[in-house]
């Protein structure tokens, strides 16, 4: 039994926006795997809810005319994992969200909910950061697109304006073309867990597979919001593929990340795991891209 | 020859449970029930000065608010032990229904009774409590220090109890020249049972009595505790136990039944329901005692024990619950498992401002085995001896008799079990192959044995009662006071009844629910006692029923009783094997006879004055990823000698469950508390790392069947033993893989990170 004041159900994006305008204090609910847990804990006791879960137009993965991958915000984790476009162009995202919770959560949880929560541990977030994803937001003034990096404001807070809902996550062609990535979720158990540290790396190699043209790396739980490791990326970009490069790349992440001490894990431990994970994820990404080291 | 015992018949409750038709506490509770929610203390230690209920009472739907200032001034015990007629052996009575002196973060301060859950939760949030805070202590050894506030008025230095064992002359023995000394401190964590169904109960008054339906393992005992707590005579209490979703010892305590029953009496006897959330279950039910154990062994270079010292400091938490029995059982195992002539053993149960520790699967033995069996591998390292060879040389030998319990080890159990385990996991080859590895990912194998004894005699009463009622068709109902809690005793008992009476298995109907108004007395599910103890009363009652049946058969057939038998539901004339009539025909004629109508029933109580050792071992194989500080459990084997198997498939399932518990105990589970406030940090199933299927290897259960001579069915304990030796086996495997001998569990990545840094295996 949940302590809720009202539930408004939107049948379309327009209806959702209208409900958002009419009930500015209401909480958006999609799959409910986070919101209902918080309500049960009494954190949102007496809340009004706007459910967008019935808006089928926000489900599914498609490719736009310019090649951009469009992931509807209500697409469930399990649908993302099994989607052919995802598997072809950004398989690592499917692998990352396949590590969320358990099967039931992956069937109900959505990528829009995962990102709108604004938590650093979200399994989709580090990969979306590493692939320069764009967040599409629809509000009373129309549609706006924002790099995911700017969407995350601080822990638990995203840049969702009054009246807006998130309608899609976009991956530009320039981001995914000829690019291969690997995600390492470091958690205390192999299922039903949140990440102690999430590490997502992707690389684009030169045609002869000998040089790193571009590498990108993002972490979850290495700071209050997901973050990119710019020093590490600069260390690897343009360099010849080698074990030494993997080592230098992984050591360089120390300059970029700032994990905290908490009862869940110490800063030193997270730093250590970040370096090791960066190395392993880099090596695996290079291997997936056809490189040898 | 038994026809059903020894076979893997399907569980009698399988269909009901698999289809969701089985009724649990909440399914049985009428939807009109008022809901009780508890306000728990938000300080670790202090006094409640006042509770402001005004705002809560104005919330629509709130029916009544009751606080620690309203409860009867009665302290009661909660432990699920049989009552003792000797006042010195009675459980410590140290709880009130709600407490003014709050002793841990989560203690019960007040309740809100409301028309629904939302109103009850709103009411609890609206209560304003004023506390007078006292300093608190979380660690048992610190709790014993001078100047620490006393948690219970009558317990100086917060020591609930201290017992010892002295044998020979330890101080003199250690003077022998040339001895090797091995010393270690071993820590086990606070863990929780995490049964699927949280504890809950509902209560109402009827005809001047209070009726409680509860998710409990011990209905007859809880009935007594409700009577004691409310200050009413025990006959005024009726307690029912339906199917329950596990207990593992947490429900071997009176939990919230007394409070729920009292709440009903405060609202005119209306139906009230109290259900724990998972968060409450973690903190405000019971937990496993965290025990710190100090062991010193003195050995000759040939691997002979000369003298041993054992000290255990058991974190009792805020209330006595099962009290000292848990650490005392662990200490009791120490001199028996590896007999030694010179011993100094001390065990302390110490109050702290943490959740009350109670019974949990293994009852002190998993803690004692982690310390003891880790220590044995520490000894083997110091002596450079093979861990199996050392154990063969020093473990309790066949023929050993314990002076107190009179238990005897009738077979060469340890060697038989280790041999089977070694063969199953290919120990000898792997142990050799995994010596002296280098590289980031390494493998290891480890072994640990365990000591366990069945049931509680001679420390406490062991008795069990059984009733059988024959139907007109020759089938029967039977019931005992022993409870089905998921382990399968209803099925094992049905197999026993079919064989003992002489009727087909499908003609045996178990009455699963215990109702203290109807069910004959039995103490319930604990101490791995039920299959062993229940077997006595079933055999005895079946004998009484058969006697009645054969006497009636004599009346009906005029054949002498001595020439009659009941086989497979048929009355047989022994001399020529002729079927004289079916049991159904006999029962029909008996019940409806115009001359001598009889309802055929039998009921007896068996008191059991024996106890049985139930031993075995675990083998574990691990792969350790050193840079990632991670352990992958690759293989795990448990071998048990629990006597003759009643139902091999159920036995195997029981072992799998225990092994799973041992995996969590060894690698991931731990309830944590904030040092600054005493607040629990991870009392939910996300942050408390119960291991999942994906953290388990394919679990292998093996058995050595030495029939137990004291049991009519040759059986002995299997409920708890599977949880006892897994953790040290895993620890010893990690030690073989890495050379790092960790002395605390759970061996999490955080622990390994610190240990590997110390050992120079990783650097930053």
Residue A90 CB-half CA count within 13 A: 32
Inspect the interface and report whether the beta carbons of B750 and A268 lie closer than 8 Å: no
Q: How far is it, in rounded angstroms, from Cα B271 to Cα B381?
A: 62
- Domain of A162, CATH number, reads 3.30.465.10
B760 Cβ contact list (under 8 Å, min separation 6):
none
pTM tops 0.95, yes or no: yes
Inspect the interface and report whether the beta carbons of A269 and B627 lie closer than 8 Å: no
User: CB contact, 8 Å: A230 with chain B?
Assistant: no
Residues A153 and A193 in one domain: no
CATH of range B463-511+524-607; options 3.40.50.410, 1.20.1600.10, 3.30.365.10, 3.40.50.970: 3.30.365.10
Strand A4-9 to A47-51 pairing: parallel
Contact list in A for residue B750 (CB cut-off 8 A) is: 265-266, 269
Closest CA to B450 of B362, B378, B382: B362
Percent of chain B with pLDDT strictly greater than 90: 99
Percent of chain B with pLDDT strictly greater than 70: 100
For residue A29, give Cα distances in angstroms to A4, A6, A50, A80, A142.
12, 12, 6, 19, 21
- Domain of A216, CATH number, reads 3.30.390.50
**Over the stretch B436-464, which tens digit does the pLDDT of each residue have?**
999 999 999 999 999 999 999 999 999 99
pLDDT at position B231, please? 98
pLDDT at position A43, please? 86
Listed by start position, the domains of chain B span 32-134+199-275, 362-368+378-456+610-758, 463-511+524-607
Residues A101 and A155 in one domain: yes
**Over the stretch B461-486, which tens digit does the pLDDT of each residue have?**
999 999 999 999 999 999 999 999 99
Q: Give the tokens for residue A262.
A: 């908490």
pLDDT at B1 over 70: no
CATH 1.10.645.10 fits B362-368+378-456+610-758, yes or no: no
pLDDT at position B763, please? 84
pLDDT at B733 over 80: yes
Closest CA to A110 of A158, A170, A161, A58: A58
Q: By CA distance, what is A272's nearest residue in B?
A: B764
Helix (H, G, I), strand (E, B) or coil at B459: coil
Residues A274 and A211 in one domain: yes
pLDDT at position B2, please? 74
Inspect the interface and report whether the beta carbons of B749 and A42 lie closer than 8 Å: no
Number of helices (H) and strands (E) in chain A: give both, helices first. 13, 14
pLDDT at position A220, please? 97
Minimal Cβ distance to A272: which of B668, B689, B764: B764
Q: By CA distance, what is B673's nearest residue in A?
A: A263
**Is it true that B362-368+378-456+610-758 and B463-511+524-607 share their CATH fold?**
yes
Closest CA to B298 of B342, B334, B333: B342
Q: How far is it, in rounded angstroms, from Cα B456 to Cα B460?
A: 6
Residue pairs between chains A and B whose CB atoms are closer than 8 Å: 62
| Distance to chain B for A59, nearest Cα, Å | 28
Inspect the interface and report whether the beta carbons of B672 and A276 lie closer than 8 Å: no
- Report the DSSP beta bridge partners of residue B240: B213, B515
Backbone angles phi, psi at B712, to 5 degrees: -60, -20
Q: By CA distance, what is B630's nearest residue in A?
A: A188
| Distance to chain A for B448, nearest Cα, Å | 24
A28 belongs to a structural domain: yes
Backbone angles phi, psi at B231, to 5 degrees: 70, 35
A162 belongs to a structural domain: yes
**Over the stretch B155-214, which tens digit does the pLDDT of each residue have?**
999 999 999 999 999 999 999 999 999 999 999 999 999 999 999 999 999 999 999 999
| Distance to chain B for A93, nearest Cα, Å | 21
Q: What is the CA angle A82-A88-A94, rounded to 5?
A: 40
Query: Helix crossing, B365-383 with B726-738: angle to 10°?
Result: 30
If 0-12 CB within 10 Å is exposed, 13-18 middle and 19+ buried, where does residue A22 land? Answer: exposed
A293 belongs to a structural domain: no
**Over the stretch A134-147, which tens digit does the pLDDT of each residue have?**
999 999 999 999 99
Backbone angles phi, psi at B117, to 5 degrees: -65, -40
Residues A156 and A221 in one domain: no
| Distance to chain A for B689, nearest Cα, Å | 7
Contact list in B for residue A261 (CB cut-off 8 A) is: none
Residues A25 and A88 in one domain: no
- Which residues constitute the domain of residue A277? 180-288
Question: b or e along B59-89 (b: 16 or more beta carbons within 10 Å of the residue's beta carbon)?
Answer: bebbbbbbbbeebeeeebbbbbbbbeeeeee
Total of domains in chain A: 3
**Over the stretch B250-275, which tens digit does the pLDDT of each residue have?**
999 999 999 999 999 999 999 999 99
Strands (E), B356-462: 441-450
User: CB contact, 8 Å: B115 with chain A?
Assistant: no
Q: Give the tokens for residue B541.
A: 């009652």
Inspect the interface and report whether the beta carbons of A271 and B629 lie closer than 8 Å: no
Q: How far is it, in rounded angstroms, from Cα B717 to Cα B722?
A: 10
Region label for B677, one of left (φ > 0), alpha (ψ between -120 and 50) or beta (otherwise): alpha
User: CB contact, 8 Å: A188 with chain B?
Assistant: yes
CB contacts under 8 A, A 104-163 vs B, are none
pLDDT at A121 over 80: yes
Contact B262, B74 (CB under 8 A): no
Contact B598, B552 (CB under 8 A): yes
Residue that finishes a domain, picked among A50, A66, A83: A50
The mean pLDDT value of chain B amounts to: 97
**Strands of the B46-52 sheet, one edge to the other:** B101-102, B46-52, B128-133
ipTM entry: 0.96
A283 belongs to a structural domain: yes
Minimal Cβ distance to B750: which of A42, A189, A269: A269
DSSP B198: P
Contact A151, A159 (CB under 8 A): yes
pLDDT at position B376, please? 98
Residue that finishes a domain, picked among A124, A140, A174: A174
Using CA atoms in the order A202, A206, A211, A217, what is the torsion angle rounded to 10 degrees? -10
Q: Which CATH class is domain B32-134+199-275?
A: alpha beta
A268 belongs to a structural domain: yes
């Amino acid at each position: 039994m949940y302590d809720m004041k009202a539930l408004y159900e939107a049948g379309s994006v327009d209806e959702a926006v209208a409900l958002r305008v009419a009930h500015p204090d209401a909480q958006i609910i999609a799959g409910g795997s986070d919101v209902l847990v918080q309500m049960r804990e009494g954190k949102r006791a007496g809340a009004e809810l706007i459910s967008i879960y019935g808006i089928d137009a926000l489900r599914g993965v498609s490719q736009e005319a310019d090649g951009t991958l469009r992931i509807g915000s209500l697409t469930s984790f399990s649908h993302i994992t099994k989607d052919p476009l995802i598997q072809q162009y950004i398989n690592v995202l499917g692998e990352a969200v396949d590590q969320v919770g358990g099967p039931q959560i992956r069937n109900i949880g959505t990528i829009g909910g995962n990102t709108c929560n604004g938590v650093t541990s979200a399994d989709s977030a580090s990969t979306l950061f590493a692939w320069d994803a764009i967040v599409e937001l629809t509000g009373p003034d129309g549609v706006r697109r924002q790099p995911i990096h700017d969407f995350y404001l601080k822990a638990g807070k995203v840049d969702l304006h009054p009246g807006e809902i998130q309608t899609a996550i976009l991956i530009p062609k320039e981001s995914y073309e000829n690019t291969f990535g690997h995600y390492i979720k470091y958690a205390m158990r192999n299922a039903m867990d949140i990440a102690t540290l999430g590490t997502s790396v992707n690389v684009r190699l030169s045609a002869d597979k000998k040089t790193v043209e571009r590498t990108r790396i993002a972490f979850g739980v290495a700071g209050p919001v997901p973050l990119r490791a710019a020093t590490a990326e600069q260390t690897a970009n343009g360099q010849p593929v080698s074990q030494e490069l993997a080592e230098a790349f992984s050591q360089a992440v120390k300059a970029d990340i700032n994990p905290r001490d908490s009862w869940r894990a110490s800063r030193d431990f997270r730093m250590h795991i970040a370096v090791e994970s960066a190395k392993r994820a880099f090596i695996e990404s290079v291997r997936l891209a056809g490189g040898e080291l | 020859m038994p026809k059903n015992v020894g076979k893997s018949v399907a569980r009698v409750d399988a269909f009901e449970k698999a289809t969701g038709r089985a009724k649990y506490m909440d399914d049985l509770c009428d939807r009109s029930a008022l809901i009780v929610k508890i306000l728990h203390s938000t300080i670790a230690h202090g006094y409640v000065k006042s509770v402001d209920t005004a705002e809560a009472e104005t919330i629509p739907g709130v029916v009544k608010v009751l606080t620690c200032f309203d409860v009867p001034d009665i302290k009661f015990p909660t432990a699920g032990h049989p009552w003792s007629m000797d006042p010195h052996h009675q459980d410590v009575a140290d709880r009130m229904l709600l407490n003014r002196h709050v002793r841990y973060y989560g203690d019960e301060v007040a309740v809100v009774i409301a028309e629904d859950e939302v109103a009850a939760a709103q009411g609890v949030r609206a209560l304003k409590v004023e506390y007078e805070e006292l300093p608190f202590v979380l660690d048992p050894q610190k709790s014993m220090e001078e100047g620490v506030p006393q948690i219970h008025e009558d317990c100086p230095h917060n020591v609930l109890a201290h017992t010892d064992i002295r044998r020979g002359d330890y101080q003199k023995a250690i003077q022998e020249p040339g001895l090797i000394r091995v010393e270690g401190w071993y820590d086990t964590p606070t863990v929780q049972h995490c049964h699927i169904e949280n504890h809950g109960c509902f209560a109402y008054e009827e005809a001047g009595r209070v009726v409680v339906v509860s998710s409990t393992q011990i209905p007859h005992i809880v009935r007594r505790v409700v009577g004691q707590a409310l200050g009413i005579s025990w006959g005024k209490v009726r307690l029912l136990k339906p199917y329950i979703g596990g207990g593992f010892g947490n429900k071997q305590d009176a939990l919230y039944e007394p409070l729920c029953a009292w709440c009903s009496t405060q609202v005119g006897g209306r139906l009230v329901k109290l259900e724990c959330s998972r968060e409450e279950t973690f903190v405000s039910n019971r937990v496993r005692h965290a025990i710190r154990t100090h062991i010193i062994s003195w050995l000759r270079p040939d691997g002979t024990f000369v003298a041993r010292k054992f000290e255990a400091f058991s974190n009792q938490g805020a209330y006595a619950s099962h009290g000292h029995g848990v650490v005392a059982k662990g200490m009791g195992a120490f001199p028996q498992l590896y007999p030694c002539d010179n011993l100094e053993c001390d065990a302390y149960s110490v109050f702290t401002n943490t959740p009350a520790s109670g019974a949990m699967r293994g009852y002190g033995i998993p803690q004692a085995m982690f310390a003891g069996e880790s220590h044995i591998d520490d000894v083997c390292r110091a002596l450079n001896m093979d861990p199996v060879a050392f154990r063969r040389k020093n473990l309790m030998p066949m023929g050993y008799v314990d002076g107190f319990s009179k238990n005897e080890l009738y077979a060469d159990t340890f060697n038989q079990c280790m041999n089977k385990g070694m063969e199953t996991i290919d120990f000898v080859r792997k142990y050799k192959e995994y010596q002296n590895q280098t590289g980031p990912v390494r493998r290891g194998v480890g072994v640990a044995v365990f000591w366990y004894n069945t049931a509680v005699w001679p420390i406490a009463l062991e008795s069990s009662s059984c009733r059988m009622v024959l139907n007109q068709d020759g089938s029967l109902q039977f019931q005992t006071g022993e409870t089905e809690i998921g382990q399968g005793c209803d099925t094992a008992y049905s197999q026993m009844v079919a064989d003992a009476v002489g009727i087909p298995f499908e003609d045996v109907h178990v009455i699963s629910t215990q109702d203290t108004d109807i069910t004959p007395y039995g103490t319930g599910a604990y101490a791995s006692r039920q299959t062993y103890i229940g077997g006595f009363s079933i055999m005895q009652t079946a004998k009484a029923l058969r006697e009645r049946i054969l006497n009636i058969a004599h009346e009906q057939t005029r054949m002498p009783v001595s020439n009659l038998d009941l086989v497979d539901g048929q009355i047989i004339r022994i001399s020529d094997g002729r079927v004289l009539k079916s049991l159904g025909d006999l029962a029909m004629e008996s019940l409806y006879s115009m001359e001598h109508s009889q309802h055929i029933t039998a009921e007896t109580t068996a008191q059991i004055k024996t106890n049985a050792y139930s031993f075995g071992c675990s083998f574990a194989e691990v792969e350790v990823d050193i840079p990632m500080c991670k352990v992958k459990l690759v293989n795990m084997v448990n071998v048990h000698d629990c006597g003759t198997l009643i139902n091999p498939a159920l036995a195997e399932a029981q072992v799998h469950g225990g092994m799973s518990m041992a995996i969590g105990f060894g690698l991931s589970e731990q309830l944590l508390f904030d040092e600054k406030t005493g607040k629990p940090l991870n009392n939910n199933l996300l942050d408390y790392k119960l291991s999942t299927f994906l953290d388990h290897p394919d679990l292998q259960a093996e058995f050595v069947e030495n029939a137990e001579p004291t049991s009519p069915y040759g059986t002995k304990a299997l409920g708890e033993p599977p949880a006892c030796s897994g953790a040290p086996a895993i620890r010893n495997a990690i030690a073989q893989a890495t050379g790092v001998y960790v002395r605390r569990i759970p061996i999490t990545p955080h622990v390994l990170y610190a240990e590997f840094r110390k050992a120079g295996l990783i650097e930053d």
